[in-house]
Amino acid sequence: MSEAIRLQKIIAQAGIVSRRKAEELILDGRVQINGQVVTELGTKADPERDHIRVDGKLLHGAQQHRYLMLNKPKGYVTTASDPEGRATVMQFVERAGVRVFPVGRLDYLSEGLLLMTNDGQLANALTRAAAKVEKIYLVKVSGKPAEASLDQLRSGVMIERGKPGSREGRVMTEPAQIKLIRDAENPWYEMTLTEGRNREIRKMFEEIGHHVEKIRRVGYGPLVLDVPPGETRELSEDEVESLRRAAKPKSARPKTASTVTPAKGKPSGSRSRVAAGNTEGKTSTGPRASRSSNRTSGRPSRGPSRRPGSSRGRNK
């Protein structure tokens, strides 16, 4: 006989929404078990014996989990639908034949690597603050910040919490790794973060008096962007397993060389990183990121070559 499990987990496994969103559906009275509305989060059910409906639609058991990498172009929102009628990233994954959802967010004007999946458990694990999953960005800044100002960002700065004008107060950012990769009047930096606050990168540079012109995410945990803008690909089993390891809270991981905190502003040396595409948004269609050769195409032109072993760092 099958085992009764929590209702929100059953809904997430069916690929309807993430587990967190499933909890909201339950609290809103939109879920039924055998014809009875359920509003308690601790409720359990047997997915093989009980009839479970969400908004009147019968669940048909757990879907096969799917994991996609999307290269999000700018000008799209990372939601399933948008009340303002703007284009969403869902149009790029419709051909996958299954409902998947974005893990974290990239804001409307940002572009780059976006993980899409119907594995709600993994999605929640990756976005938990305790996981400290590294996200790597290429950032073009208007004007050249002083090194002392960049050191402020490396140490953490106070930024506005939430959306601009929300009056939610201010919060200190986590330390960031920042490396100049193209010196110019409007330089490019590689930036590694382990958190994902609303428009965090833009707010950080605004705090030191500089406007961010472009943001492209090129790394997410063990993943490296390697598809053209607007395209997707399935993750390999090895990549999914690497994501599961990356999602484990740092305190639960053995203290090895790959998890030692790097010196301020310098790469940690845990693994080789590469950004896909040049500064005009073109991306490589060559071998997957797991192959270490030809991994420098994602860096803006004229930037210094990456030395092997350099490391990387929701809504940017």
Nearest to 142 by CA among 80, 235, 209: 209
pLDDT of amino acid 97? 67
The whole-number mean pLDDT for each consecutive block of 10 residues of the chain, a chain of 316 residues, reads 80 80 94 93 87 88 82 92 89 79 92 92 88 96 96 95 76 95 97 92 96 97 96 95 91 44 36 40 38 39 39 48
Q: Looking at residue 9, what is its pLDDT?
A: 87
pLDDT given for residue 316 in this prediction? 63
The DSSP output letter for 90 is G
Q: Tell me whether residue 107 is one of the annotated catalytic residues.
A: yes
CATH 3.30.2350.10 fits 64-316, yes or no: yes
* pLDDT the model gives residue 96: 65
pLDDT of residue 61: 64
In CATH terms, are 5-58 and 64-316 the same topology?
Answer: no
Helix (H) or strand (E) holding 32: strand 31-33
Closest C-alpha to 164, from 203, 131, 125, 126: 203
Domain limits of the chain? Answer: 5-58, 64-316
The reported pLDDT for the residue numbered 315 is 55
For every residue of 113-166, DSSP letters joined together read EEEEES-HHHHHHHHSGGG---EEEEEEESS---HHHHHHHHH--EEE-SSTT-
CATH number of the domain at 5-58, out of 3.40.50.1370, 1.10.10.10, 3.10.290.10, 3.20.20.140? 3.10.290.10
pTM: 0.66
Q: Give dist(CA 146, CA 212) in Å, integer.
A: 15
In this prediction, residue 299 carries a pLDDT of 44
Looking at 28, 46, 82, 107, which residue is catalytic? 107
Query: What pLDDT is recorded for position 196?
Result: 85
The per-residue pLDDT for 141 is 98
pLDDT at 267: 35
